[in-house]
Amino acid sequence: MLNKTKLFLASILALCFTSFGAPVLAAGPDLSTVTAAVDFGTVITAILGVAAALIVVYIAWKGAKMVISAVRGG
């Protein structure tokens, strides 16, 4: 009998928490003022610049390997 009462009270308590907590979580925070102040254009340009530099190094390395293998005849 005591276990059923505890289970019933726990389920009522869980129901109360979920019914009162749902509208609070549904809205979500408004971060538009923070994100509007940040300009990602320069960051994206920097990342693409580093990626382009790495691609150039990779292509040069691969080209050098091809030239060396062509000279060796293999």
pTM: 0.46
29: left (phi over 0), alpha (psi -120 to 50) or beta: beta
| 19 vs 11: CA distance, rounded Å | 12
Q: What is the pLDDT of residue 38?
A: 78
**Gap between the Cα atoms of 2 and 8, Å rounded:** 10
The one-digit pLDDT tens for each residue of the chain (74 residues) are 668 788 888 887 777 666 665 555 566 778 888 878 778 888 899 999 999 999 999 999 999 999 999 999 86
